[in-house]
A and B are shown apart, each in its own frame.
Chain A
Amino acid sequence: MYYIDPHIHMVSRTTDDYETLAKMGCVAMSEPAFWAGFDRGSVDGFRDYFRQLTTFEPKRAGWYHMQHFTWMCINAKEAENVRLSREVIAMMPEFLDMPGVLGVGEIGLNKNSKNESIVFLEHLDLAAKRSEQILIHTPHLEDKYKGTRMIIDMLCDDRRLDHGRVLVDHVEEHTIRLAIEEGFWAGMTLYPTSKCTPERAVDMVETYGPERLMVNSAGDWGPSKPTAVPDFILAMRRRGHPESLIRKIVYDNPLEFFSQSRNFNFTPPETPATVEG
């Protein structure tokens, strides 16, 4: 089955991983901007990172007939530095109109601090003024419930935002309802230890239905499995769900959400893109 991974950090993966994803049926991925494993020291560090996301990663994906899309932001981990965050937000428009850039993300909270909230709100303002789609990171473990509610508060307080163009990611059993009931899209991240397993993701599909729901691997620097979406596909099959329902969650839903972005030009796998060297 063809699928799209709507949240995976390919800068932290090898070219071998791209090849494996292609063999597993992945035809496209979207890569939100995130933490580099260390705090960057200048706006130029981010500019170089954004160049990597918009030039080299699409090229690597293309070697294996996959399409790569991306999102721009300074992530919540580095948002404690408000001065640097403002410099990055001011620089982001250099990239937001480039091909394959879907919007602002992954913005959100990490430790639910005041500075993170200030930087989150300034990202929202940029997105609203430019009519950008938004991809949201919600915190980990004990911080997730509180942080998700804070994020939903800020999103709902901004009347300029279209909830149908916002994806709230890393939802789990105690936060999925918060996102879905407010009309946002929701992403379930399949991740060892700190997020969700394929079986629990299937439980949430059965509980909340497939509308505005996606699954992703978030494959990154930490222990993570870039082929987690195929694990979900297998778990759905083992639970007796039809192929049409599985396809809706792993292919049709990401397509529907991303198609709202002006920079999303997707070539379906039946007509693969030209491979560049």
Chain B
Amino acid sequence: MPCVLSAPQLLARDFLEIRAKILEVAASLDRIERGDGSVADDPRTAQIRAGLEALSADDGHVERGGRAEQVQLIFSLPYEEGWRRKWNV
């Protein structure tokens, strides 16, 4: 089912909201950097970095389910094949 609105219409409608959300992320990252201590080794930092990279890649997203699905998977624990056998349930 296609979008009813065209790409230019959607960009015009959503531009300010996208800008605001990017600013919120930027300010959050600045806030963390201003705080005492380091989060460089925190795995959540790597997840955030991977999430931002997924947003900025500019092709192939539709084939892989879209940017939103890619970001969801970055923040997800992996599934383990054969888990029922392992637990005997």
Contacts of B84 in A (CB 8 A): 117, 153-154, 157
Q: Is the CB of A172 within 8 A of B66?
A: no
Please give me the residue from chain A that is nearest to B84 by CB atom: A153
Q: Is the CB of B73 within 8 A of A239?
A: no
Q: Is the CB of A177 within 8 A of B68?
A: no
Contacts of B66 in A (CB 8 A): 173, 207
Contacts of A114 in B (CB 8 A): 87, 89
Given the known interface contacts A146-B76, A173-B69, the answer about A205 and B1 at a Cβ–Cβ threshold of 8 Å is yes
Q: How distant is the Cα of A150 from the Cα of B87 in the complex, in angstroms?
A: 12
- Pick from B1, B72, B80, B87: contact of A174, CB below 8 A: B72
Given the known interface contacts A209-B1, A240-B5, A241-B4, the answer about A174 and B76 at a Cβ–Cβ threshold of 8 Å is yes
**Mask of B42-79 contacts with A, CB within 8 angstroms, 1/0:** 00000000000000000000000110110011011111
* Interfacial residues of chain A within 116-153, with CB under 8 A of chain B in the complex: 117-118, 121, 141-146, 149-150, 153
Q: How far is the CB of B13 from chain A (nearest CB, A)?
A: 8
Given the known interface contacts A118-B89, A150-B83, A173-B68, the answer about A145 and B1 at a Cβ–Cβ threshold of 8 Å is no
Q: How distant is the Cα of A205 from the Cα of B80 in the complex, in angstroms?
A: 29
* CB of B3 closer than 8 Å to a CB of A: yes
Q: Range of interface residues on chain B? A: 20 to 34
* CB of A200 closer than 8 Å to a CB of B: yes
Q: Is the CB of A143 within 8 A of B77?
A: yes
CB < 8 Å A-B pair total: 61
Q: How distant is the Cα of A161 from the Cα of B2 in the complex, in angstroms?
A: 33
**Is the contact region of chain B dominated by helix, strand, or loop, or is it mixed?**
loop
Given the known interface contacts A114-B89, A206-B3, the answer about A200 and B75 at a Cβ–Cβ threshold of 8 Å is no
**Is the contact region of chain A dominated by helix, strand, or loop, or is it mixed?**
helix
**Mask of B1-17 contacts with A, CB within 8 angstroms, 1/0:** 11111000000000000
Contacts of B76 in A (CB 8 A): 142, 144-146, 174
Q: Is the CB of B73 within 8 A of A121?
A: no
Q: Is the CB of A146 within 8 A of B68?
A: no
- Pick from A117, A154, A174: contact of B69, CB below 8 A: A174
Contacts of B79 in A (CB 8 A): 145-146, 149-150
Q: How distant is the Cα of A177 from the Cα of B68 in the complex, in angstroms?
A: 13
Contacts of A118 in B (CB 8 A): 89
- Pick from A112, A117, A172, A241: contact of B72, CB below 8 A: A172
Cβ contacts A to B, 8 pairs, < 8 Å? A114-B87, A114-B89, A143-B77, A173-B68, A173-B72, A200-B68, A207-B66, A239-B4
- Enumerate chain A interface residues (CB-CB to B < 8 A): 112, 114, 117-118, 121, 141-146, 149-150, 153-154, 157, 172-174, 177, 200, 203, 205-210, 239-241
4 A-B pairs closest in CB distance: A240-B4, A174-B72, A145-B76, A173-B68
